[in-house]
Chain A
Amino acid sequence: MTQQPLVSVRDLRIGAVTDAGRKVEIIKGLDFDIHPGEIVALIGESGSGKTTTALSLMGHCRPGCAITGGSIRVGRHDVAAMSESARAHLRGTEVSYVPQSAAAAFNPSKRIMEQVIEITDIHGLMPKAEAEKKAVELFRALALPHPDTIGTRYPHQVSGGQLQRLAAAMALIGDPELVIFDEPTTALDVTTQIEVLKAFKSVMAAGGIAGVYVSHDLAVVAQVADRIIVLKGGEIQEEGGTEDILHRPAHPYTKALLAAFEPVPHVPATRDKAPNEAPILQVEHLFAGYGAVRKGEPDVKILKDVNFRIERGKNLGVIGESGSGKSTLARAVAGILPAYRGAMKFDGAELRPDLQSRSKDQLRRCQMVFQLADTALNPAQSIEAILSRPLAFYHGLSGRAKAARVAELLDMVHLPAAMRHRLPGELSGGQKQRINLARALAAEPELILCDEITSALDTVVAAAILDLLKELQSELGLSYMFISHDLSTVEAICDEVLVMLKGEVVEQLPAARMAADAQHPYSRLLISSVPQLDTGWLAGLDRAG
């Protein structure tokens, strides 16, 4: 390309100062260019500096960080050297931003239209009527339903995928030359993700807008990006065209990323089954819901007539998109949300619906691990206190025996023993999830209910957690009920799969033959929505659809 690049970053360095006053370098001398109309993806695990780099293109640094060196040229401007007020002028008109969580980025008390055209108002770009007309055109281009009236709604009245596209409309209204997408589809379901990706891709191509796409999901990036930059530890590991990176990765880290994507086929645990052994969990005609209970039925009914069984040492996967009742099922089994009808048997014995009427031993034998390790670990307790409690509570351990067991548990989840003095806030996402798991293991359970435990993690980290789960299973003879919206993780660990839709089980089938045997149209839709490591996958779907 002979054209002058739209963005040139040279020797970018961003540093931060920790609470203890120690200087840390987050970005260590990056160089890259973005040409007009080109979409460049920044990928890497969390902590690799991809978001920090993307935000720096707007001249923005998160609190505590500062650009310590290098230059960032966007169009005619040197962003690194600009004053804050000059940067404010640049934002929205030349560079704009689509955040990871659109739900958090919209003000819930203002109508969508007001927020989408706010940029034109701030920069005095065009009269209000014209801006609204332009917004409606953008809504149409982004394939939003009811483009003429959707702007009059409030953010809570549209779905997550729609909100994410509205956030893109907000970013595009000022005719920017560069749009920064910060993991815009990570929080979405696979089926919604497709719609959002298609909308982004067509709008960007139509406007010839350059983009920076931050993600840790290689398959998503493969669909939208022209070029991929792989980051790790604040340095560029590899840079190249999307096809090159996918098919001819050179750097070991890129190879690891790709390898994490290849599902390792699940080998069912082989163990001798005792004659007439009861299944670890048997659920019959289970109904559960939320809200005030009237005449023995709650206001909002979620689960309808769910039946399944988990054999000892086997794993059951539960898939479905958000709102399908997967998490509700786990909560009903765990007793957090008492089921109002139906029967459960744990190892042959009756499992009562509510926590109070279950015995301490039953509570111990069935543990639940939550999706978000951030909220599942008490931020005010040290790791040692968190892991010690189940030991003291269920097993009556104290003193040296307890401390030894804590060290053992940390070792089991491959964390150093020194970590026990830390607070949860001082661990990375993957480490927190390991602690979350270790706490469940501390109870010495027989069944672990895993509620989307890898969804918030990077591909590489998630793969490591899955390996850990398998390893623990073969050592401790556990059974898992594994809830996920990600089919490849379910495939990697489960023997049987339950497909859920609107609180009902639509299909139950062996995980290994999921792609081949699925009969129900919804199961087929879920399976076909999983992004493939192939740049033509999304376009291929267009033709099919």
Chain B
Amino acid sequence: MISVLRTSPRPGGTGPTWRFNWVGRIGLAMILFWAFVAIFAPMIAPYPIGEIADWDYFGPMSGQFWLGSDYLGRDVLSRILVGSRYTVGISLAAVFVACAGGVILGMVAAVMGGIFDTLLSRLLDAFNGIPSLLFGLVVVAAVGSSIPVLVLTLAAIYLPGAYRFARALSVNVNAMDFVTVARARGERTPYLIFREIFPNILGPVLADLGVRFVFIVLLLSGLSFLGLGVQPPNADWGALVRENIEGLSLGAPAVIFPCIAIATLTISVNMFIDNLPKKIRDRSE
């Protein structure tokens, strides 16, 4: 049972009421928590990121090292806190670019149709055929690894998917009479896509964004593992999992906690997106 609450009690029954359930609230709280951590990481991390603080490796959780120590004896808590900058920042930027680009292109293709649609669709289909890790490898090998390059590479890899999804949705909306009415009024493409189509595909597009975010986090981890992502001594969460993977047999917290961090972020993003605040209205008002 999902509890429902009103964020604004209605004075005298006027004005819209919002419904925002607990699942969504928890998701939003977690996202805000990680955003806060990412911004203030250097200030709250107990140790510098590269410092070997412990003589033991894969140390247990202790008062000195809250989340234990990693394979070189570095503080895991500090590394997760600082790593959040890369995971949250790069992934969010990449998913935003991929979805914004894909959705806009998809809507334009649906509205304009014809040769533009065909060319763009085939081009992006061909692009989709390139294995994503391979593509990342080539790009990073060619231009070198930096944060803007990573963001753009990840965005490019996930843009065709977002495009296809948005185009499929937009084609349906585009066939509706209200779009025809707007067209007959003489409206241009930007109005059609942003005012008539976009509001009607927003829900599924956001759900898609949540899934795509998870994929990007995982791909970023994969790139970091190959040494192409975030460069040492910095590490994103995926890289932390990979570099400490040997500690799994020792039950080291160094491998568990980055996993938990990834899980909390990806799950909370999806919890929030699936339970966005809803405006509730009553017909009789």
> Told that A18-B283, A368-B184, A389-B195 touch, could you supply 16 new A-B pairs with CB distance under 8 A?
A18-B282, A19-B281, A19-B282, A21-B4, A334-B184, A355-B183, A367-B184, A372-B177, A376-B177, A378-B195, A379-B200, A381-B195, A381-B199, A389-B182, A393-B185, A422-B281
CB distance from B277 to the nearest CB of A (A): 13
Which residues of the partner chain B approach A355 to less than 8 Å between Cβ atoms? 183-184, 186
- Is A335 on the interface with B (CB-CB < 8 A)? yes
B184 touches A20 (CB 8 A): no
A378 touches B281 (CB 8 A): no
Q: Which residues of B contact A (CB under 8 A)?
A: 4, 17, 19, 176-178, 180-187, 195-196, 199-200, 202, 280-284
A19 touches B178 (CB 8 A): no
Q: Which residues of A contact B (CB under 8 A)?
A: 18-22, 334-336, 355, 358, 360, 363, 367-368, 370, 372, 375-381, 389-390, 393-394, 422-423, 426, 439, 443
In the assembled complex, 28 residue pairs joining A and B whose CB atoms fall closer than 8 Å, in A order, are A18-B283, A19-B280, A19-B282, A20-B17, A21-B4, A336-B183, A355-B183, A363-B184, A363-B185, A363-B186, A367-B184, A370-B181, A375-B178, A377-B178, A378-B178, A378-B195, A379-B200, A380-B200, A380-B202, A389-B182, A390-B185, A393-B185, A393-B186, A393-B187, A394-B185, A423-B281, A426-B283, A443-B185
B184 touches A336 (CB 8 A): yes
Which residue in chain B gives the minimum CB-CB distance to A370?
B177
Which residues of the partner chain B approach A379 to less than 8 Å between Cβ atoms? 200
Which residues of the partner chain B approach A21 to less than 8 Å between Cβ atoms? 4
Which residue in chain B gives the minimum CB-CB distance to A358?
B186
Q: Given that A335-B184, A355-B183, A393-B187 are contacting pairs, would A375 and B177 also be in contact in the complex, using a CB cutoff of 8 Å?
A: yes
A20 touches B185 (CB 8 A): no
Lowest 10 A-B CB distances belong to which pairs? A380-B199, A376-B177, A20-B282, A375-B177, A378-B178, A363-B186, A19-B280, A370-B177, A426-B283, A375-B176
B184 touches A439 (CB 8 A): no
CB distance from A197 to the nearest CB of B (A): 30
Q: Given that A372-B177, A375-B177, A380-B200 are contacting pairs, would A22 and B282 also be in contact in the complex, using a CB cutoff of 8 Å?
A: yes
CA distance A20 to B5 in the complex (A): 11
CB distance from B175 to the nearest CB of A (A): 9
Which residues of the partner chain A approach B176 to less than 8 Å between Cβ atoms? 375
Q: Which of B19, B185, B195, B281 counts the most chain A CB atoms within 10 A?
A: B185
Chain B interface mostly: helix
CA distance A380 to B201 in the complex (A): 10
CB distance from B3 to the nearest CB of A (A): 13
CB distance from B2 to the nearest CB of A (A): 14
CB distance from B178 to the nearest CB of A (A): 4
Which residues of the partner chain A approach B185 to less than 8 Å between Cβ atoms? 363, 389-390, 393-394, 443
Which residues of the partner chain B approach A389 to less than 8 Å between Cβ atoms? 182, 185, 195
CA distance A363 to B282 in the complex (A): 36
A426 touches B281 (CB 8 A): yes
CA distance A504 to B195 in the complex (A): 38
CB distance from B40 to the nearest CB of A (A): 38
Which residues of the partner chain B approach A18 to less than 8 Å between Cβ atoms? 282-284
Q: Given that A18-B283, A375-B176 are contacting pairs, would A368 and B199 also be in contact in the complex, using a CB cutoff of 8 Å?
A: no
Which residues of the partner chain B approach A19 to less than 8 Å between Cβ atoms? 19, 280-282
Residue of A22, A335, A368, A422 touching B181 (CB-CB under 8 A): A368
CB distance from A84 to the nearest CB of B (A): 20
A20 touches B177 (CB 8 A): no
CB distance from B193 to the nearest CB of A (A): 13
Q: Which of A22, A360, A380, A381 counts the most chain B CB atoms within 10 A?
A: A380
CA distance A426 to B16 in the complex (A): 13
CB distance from B111 to the nearest CB of A (A): 13
B280 touches A20 (CB 8 A): yes
CA distance A393 to B185 in the complex (A): 9
CA distance A358 to B178 in the complex (A): 20
Which residue in chain A gives the minimum CB-CB distance to B180?
A336
CA distance A289 to B246 in the complex (A): 69
CA distance A353 to B123 in the complex (A): 33
CB distance from B74 to the nearest CB of A (A): 51
CA distance A375 to B181 in the complex (A): 10
Which residues of the partner chain B approach A22 to less than 8 Å between Cβ atoms? 282, 284
CB distance from B200 to the nearest CB of A (A): 5
B283 touches A378 (CB 8 A): no
CA distance A444 to B120 in the complex (A): 39
B196 touches A378 (CB 8 A): yes
CB distance from A342 to the nearest CB of B (A): 19
Which residue in chain B gives the minimum CB-CB distance to A373?
B177
CA distance A19 to B279 in the complex (A): 10
CA distance A422 to B279 in the complex (A): 12
CB distance from B176 to the nearest CB of A (A): 5
Q: Which of B181, B184, B200, B283 counts the most chain A CB atoms within 10 A?
A: B181
Which residue in chain A gives the minimum CB-CB distance to B200?
A380
CA distance A443 to B186 in the complex (A): 12
CA distance A215 to B275 in the complex (A): 39
CA distance A481 to B199 in the complex (A): 32
CB distance from A338 to the nearest CB of B (A): 12
Which residues of the partner chain A approach B182 to less than 8 Å between Cβ atoms? 389
B181 touches A376 (CB 8 A): yes
Which residues of the partner chain A approach B17 to less than 8 Å between Cβ atoms? 20
CB distance from A196 to the nearest CB of B (A): 27
B184 touches A378 (CB 8 A): no
Which residues of the partner chain A approach B281 to less than 8 Å between Cβ atoms? 19-20, 422-423, 426
CA distance A370 to B184 in the complex (A): 12
Which residues of the partner chain B approach A335 to less than 8 Å between Cβ atoms? 184
